[in-house]
Structure 1
Amino acid sequence: MKILKVLNNNVVTVKTEAGEEVIIMGCGLAFGKKRGDNVDESKIEKIFTQTREDKNLYKKLEDTIERIPAEYIDITEKIVKLAEEKLQMKLSDTIYITLSDHIYFAVKRFGDGQSLKNILFWEIKSSYKDEYLIGQEALKIIKDTVDLSLPDDEAGFIALHIVNAELNENMMNVMIITKIIKEITNILKYHFNVELDEENQTYYRFIVHLKFLAQRLLNNTTCNHSNDDELFNVIRASYKESFACTVKIFEHIKKNYNYSFSRDEMVYLSIHIEKLRKEWN
Structure 2
Amino acid sequence: MSNYQVKKILNNNIVLCFDIQNEQECIAVGKGIGFQKNSGDFIDESIIEKVYFRKDNKKINQYLDLLSRCDEQLIVTVEELINIMEQRFGDHYDEYIHIALLDHLNFSVYRLNNNIQVNNIFLEEFSVMYEKEYIFAKEALMRINDKLGIQLPDVEAGFITLHVHAALNRENASKSALYMQIINDSIAFIEKTVNQTIPNGSLERMRLVTHLKFALERAGKKQILNNPILESLKKQLPDTYKLAQDLSMMIEEQFGMKLHDGEIGYLTLHIQNIKTRLEEGNNL
Same fold (TM over 0.5): yes
Larger radius of gyration: 2
User: Aligned partners of 1:154, 1:167: CA distance in 2, in Å?
Assistant: 20
Aligned counterpart in structure 1 of residue 232 of structure 2, from 230, 234, 237: 237
Flag the 1:136–1:274 CA change in 2: closer, same or farther, 3 A: same
Q: Report the alpha carbon displacement of residue 180 of structure 1 after superposing the two structures with TM.
A: 0.3
Structure 1 runs not aligned, ≥5 long: none
Aligned counterpart in structure 1 of residue 70 of structure 2, from 68, 71, 79: 68
Flag the 1:156–1:233 CA change in 2: closer, same or farther, 3 A: closer
Flag the 1:274–1:40 CA change in 2: closer, same or farther, 3 A: farther
Flag the 1:163–1:33 CA change in 2: closer, same or farther, 3 A: same
**Which residue is 1:222 aligned to?**
222
Aligned counterpart in structure 2 of residue 38 of structure 1, from 28, 36, 42: 42
Aligned-pair Cα RMSD in Å: 3.8
Tell me the TM-score normalized by structure 1: 0.73
**Which residue is 1:108 aligned to?**
110
Flag the 1:18–1:268 CA change in 2: closer, same or farther, 3 A: farther
1:1-281 alignment to 2 at 5 Å?
1=3, 2-16=5-19, 17-51=21-55, 54-84=56-86, 90-111=92-113, 113-118=114-119, 121-122=120-121, 124-129=122-127, 130=131, 131-166=133-168, 168-170=170-172, 172-187=174-189, 195=198, 198=201, 207=209, 210-211=212-213, 213-214=215-216, 221-224=221-224, 231-237=226-232, 241=237, 246-263=244-261, 265-266=263-264, 273=270
Q: Report the alpha carbon displacement of residue 10 of structure 1 after superposing the two structures with TM.
A: 0.9
User: Aligned partners of 1:48, 1:116: CA distance in 2, in Å?
Assistant: 34
Flag the 1:109–1:49 CA change in 2: closer, same or farther, 3 A: closer
Task: State whether residues 254 and 260 of structure 1, in contact with CA within 8 Å, keep that contact through their aligned partners in structure 2.
Answer: yes
Flag the 1:8–1:268 CA change in 2: closer, same or farther, 3 A: farther
Structure 2 runs not aligned, ≥5 long: none
Deviation string for 1:152-209 (max 9, x for gaps)?
2333333333344345454554433221011233456666968466475x97676455
Task: State whether residues 198 and 205 of structure 2, in contact with CA within 8 Å, keep that contact through their aligned partners in structure 1.
Answer: no
Amino acid at match of 2:245: V
Identity of aligned residues (%): 25
Q: Report the alpha carbon displacement of residue 39 of structure 1 after superposing the two structures with TM.
A: 1.9
User: Aligned partners of 2:85, 2:50: CA distance in 1, in Å?
Assistant: 15
Task: State whether residues 68 and 104 of structure 1, in contact with CA within 8 Å, keep that contact through their aligned partners in structure 2.
Answer: yes
Which structure 1 residue ranges, 4+ long, deviate > 6 Å from structure 2?
A: 274-277
Q: Report the alpha carbon displacement of residue 23 of structure 1 after superposing the two structures with TM.
A: 1.2
Deviation string for 1:67-86 (max 9, x for gaps)?
42332222212333444555
Q: Report the alpha carbon displacement of residue 65 of structure 1 after superposing the two structures with TM.
A: 3.0
Deviation string for 1:100-153 (max 9, x for gaps)?
122223223423x413222xx23x212211344433322221222221112223
Q: Report the alpha carbon displacement of residue 55 of structure 1 after superposing the two structures with TM.
A: 4.1
Tell me the TM-score normalized by structure 2: 0.73
User: Aligned partners of 1:181, 1:132: CA distance in 2, in Å?
Assistant: 17
Amino acid at match of 1:255: E
Q: How many residues align?
A: 266
SS in structure 1 of the partner of residue 229 of structure 2: helix
